[in-house]
Chain A
């Protein structure tokens, strides 16, 4: 059983399109995250939700909008895609914060904007 699953794994789309990446965790965790790994290989947090409530919102364009219909799901919607949005997006979850409770990552979604 996959603990944190995200779809699609690969996505190639044109500039200006709107796309979504879905994430689900079956670990019963309270906190979910979206991380972005860009071409420079940095793994940076974008958003964090705790029990469907947004608790971390890093400086990302407002074209990125997370949506958490319940605490097991955290989807990422991206509007008006730009070339610079090409990256690997990782969904993750943890029981509370990352301290003492490890973060479990999904396999990543490779987004390529052409």
Chain B
């Protein structure tokens, strides 16, 4: 039961171009979304987040877009740099019936930025 889906396991782009990573979710209870970045042999690190009351959040070269009606979000990186090469995890958060907040991750998309 994949509640958070990243259908592209990998993406390759040229340095300086835009990288667009996509994520779809199925649970309408999710109301907070995050992107994490992971380098090999390291733990994931927080990149950017967005609340469901917004449709866009920007932080430097990184912008996350949220389309609630389509249950879709995307991460845009522009311009892409070789150091952005990593696995990007989409995550969604909701409170369960017990009031505990749960974070559900997608499988990740491996981004390669070629010089």
- Interface set of A (CB-CB < 8 Å, partner B): 4, 35, 40-45, 48, 55-56, 90, 92, 97-100, 102-108
* Contact A90/B43 with A43-B105, A44-B105, A45-B102 known, Cβ cut-off 8 Å: yes
* Contact A107/B41 with A43-B105, A102-B46 known, Cβ cut-off 8 Å: yes
Q: Smallest CB–CB gap between B66 and chain A, Å?
A: 15
5 additional A-B residue pairs with CB within 8 Å, beyond A97-B101, A104-B43: A41-B108, A55-B100, A98-B103, A102-B34, A105-B45
- Interface set of B (CB-CB < 8 Å, partner A): 32, 34, 36, 41-46, 49, 89, 91, 93, 98, 100-105, 107-108
A98 closest partner in B (C-beta): B103
Q: Which residues of chain A have C-beta atoms less than 8 A from B42's C-beta?
A: 107-108
Q: Which residues of chain A have C-beta atoms less than 8 A from B32's C-beta?
A: 98-100
Per DSSP, are chain B's interface residues mostly helix, strand or loop, or mixed?
strand
**4 closest cross-chain pairs (CB), A and B:** A105-B43, A97-B101, A102-B46, A43-B105
* Contact A108/B41 with A56-B100, A102-B34 known, Cβ cut-off 8 Å: yes
Q: Smallest CB–CB gap between A44 and chain B, Å?
A: 7
* Contact A97/B100 with A105-B44, A105-B45, A108-B43 known, Cβ cut-off 8 Å: yes
Report Cα–Cα, A43/B4, bound state, in Å: 11
Q: Smallest CB–CB gap between B115 and chain A, Å?
A: 26
- CB-based contact A90/B93 at 8 Å: no
A55 closest partner in B (C-beta): B100
- CB-based contact A45/B103 at 8 Å: yes
Q: Smallest CB–CB gap between A104 and chain B, Å?
A: 8
Report Cα–Cα, A23/B95, bound state, in Å: 25
* Contact A90/B44 with A41-B108, A99-B32, A99-B93 known, Cβ cut-off 8 Å: yes
Listed residue (A4, A43, A104) with the most chain B CB atoms within 10 angstroms of its CB? A43
Q: Smallest CB–CB gap between B42 and chain A, Å?
A: 5
